[in-house]
Amino acid sequence: MIKHSFTSNKISGINLTRRLLLLLIFGGILSPLSFSQQSGSDSLRSTVNDSYKKFRLGSYGEMLYQFMDYHPDRYNPPKGAKKVNRSHISIPRLILEIDYKFTDNLEFVTEIEFEHGGTGSAMELEYEEMGEYEMEVEKAGEVVLEQFWIKKRFCDAFNIKAGHMIVPIGNTNKRHLPTQFFTSSRPEGEMNLLPCTWHETGIAIEGKFNKFKYELQLINGLDANGFSSAGWIKKGKQGIFESVKITDPALVFYLENKSIKNLLLNTSVYWGNSTGNTAKPSKMEHIKGTVSIGHFGFDYNNRNLIFRGNILYGHLSDSEEITRINKIISKHIQYPRTPVAQNAISYSAELGYDILHLFNLKQKLFPFVRYNYYNTMEKTAGSVFKDARYSRQAITAGINYFIKPYLALKIDYSTRIPDHGNYNTENTLGVGLVFNSWFINK
């Protein structure tokens, strides 16, 4: 077991790190030349063998082992998680992707995701609500239709896409291949604020011109009953009931730029009401529950040096009234029923360098470091209790060893610091084996 003690000097240093990181990211917004791309993608289709004539079949997946030195009850008073050694092993996801061209200008794409081994049922202890816990029956795994759309191409600058598609909010949703981030599990800041991978049904227009690429989506919105303290709008993604409501639709806009060599800059915006999509919208007809999210990210990659970062900020209107109504939802429905924040934030940066290129080796070994601050209760409205435990910093160091360009071994160690060290730290050792590749391309 590893013991930690944090002095005021160390905490001040962490706060200084946060300020410098914010300055760096916002400086990048104002002056893109201060940064300098990894190819962006919401799937395999922007990786190797990007073009195909008629049909292709691909896959990506992850295997993960984790050792943790903290109890799963992270809300235990008065100092949070107690020190307990435990280990987990899992297959977080395996995705099969099929692309097919009916004609040169008419394309069909689908992705099927197997999470944690497939479907089933399991018991789960819920610790979130002020140190109390409930016994709930939840899926042990899922088989999810992650993408299912048809695209009609008119020209490079204008295409129409309809169906079930990725919502390009945040770095991870747009670039969620396991070789597109360093950590052994997906970056936790965005994973705690947003659905990930976030996919909804609707229609979109997209295209590219010069060094810009854009996408504008009209999709089904979120369900306000699913919002919570720990996950903000994460569990507002519809799926508890068989049908998906689009009484309140949402708009999404994504824009990326590759004007500077080796650098990808991207920004995205989400806007939509959420109360009309609830199970009983009449209880919330007097409020809108508007979700607004803004995101900016950058990705610099010159093959040997990779530097990525992003900032995401969200606002929820009527959060106090949503909190009040959600508290009285039936316990038989698997909604969180915890206070909901008005604002949430996540910002991060990671830096890795391939040391094997110094020896002219074809394989790659990236030692890396990553910093992430996120708070699912950054600001609350009215009488909603602002729980400081949801303010978290995660510092991670590790290596990515690319055996092949499409196959990597990841090893990392992370320290999570709740509320600037006022609660017990949580340490995790992760080991992952990941891949992404096209198997058939015709």
Domains detected in the chain: 8-441 (2.40.160.10)
Provide the pLDDT for residue 35: 29
Provide the pLDDT for residue 343: 98
Q: What CA–CA distance (Å, rounded) separates 334 from 58?
A: 34
- Residue 116 region by backbone torsions, left for phi larger than 0, else alpha for psi between -120 and 50, else beta: left
Centre a 10 Å sphere on the Cβ of residue 308 and count the other Cβ atoms it contains: 25
The helices-and-strands tally (H runs, E runs) of the chain is 4, 18
pLDDT(45) > 70: no
Of residues 119 and 207, more confidence is placed in 207
Please state which of the ranges 135-149, 185-199, 268-282, 307-321 shows the lowest mean pLDDT: 135-149
Segment of 15-24, 130-139, 410-419 carrying the highest mean pLDDT: 410-419
pLDDT, one tens digit per residue, over 387-441 is 999 999 999 999 999 999 999 999 999 999 999 999 999 999 999 999 999 999 9
Residue 62 near residue 432 (C-beta atoms within 8 A)? yes
Q: What CA–CA distance (Å, rounded) separates 266 from 214?
A: 10
pLDDT(122) > 70: no
Q: What CA–CA distance (Å, rounded) separates 356 from 360?
A: 7
Q: What CA–CA distance (Å, rounded) separates 59 from 405?
A: 14
Vertex 441: Cα angle to 44 and 184 (nearest 5): 30
Provide the pLDDT for residue 139: 54
Strand, helix or coil at 295?
Answer: strand
Listing DSSP states for 212-258 in one string gives EEEEEEEEE---GGG-BTTTBTGGGSS-SSSS---SSEEEEEEEEE-
User: E strands within 71-211?
Assistant: 83-103, 106-115, 122-126, 134-138, 142-155, 158-166, 199-209
Q: What CA–CA distance (Å, rounded) separates 312 from 328?
A: 30
Residue 231 near residue 376 (C-beta atoms within 8 A)? yes
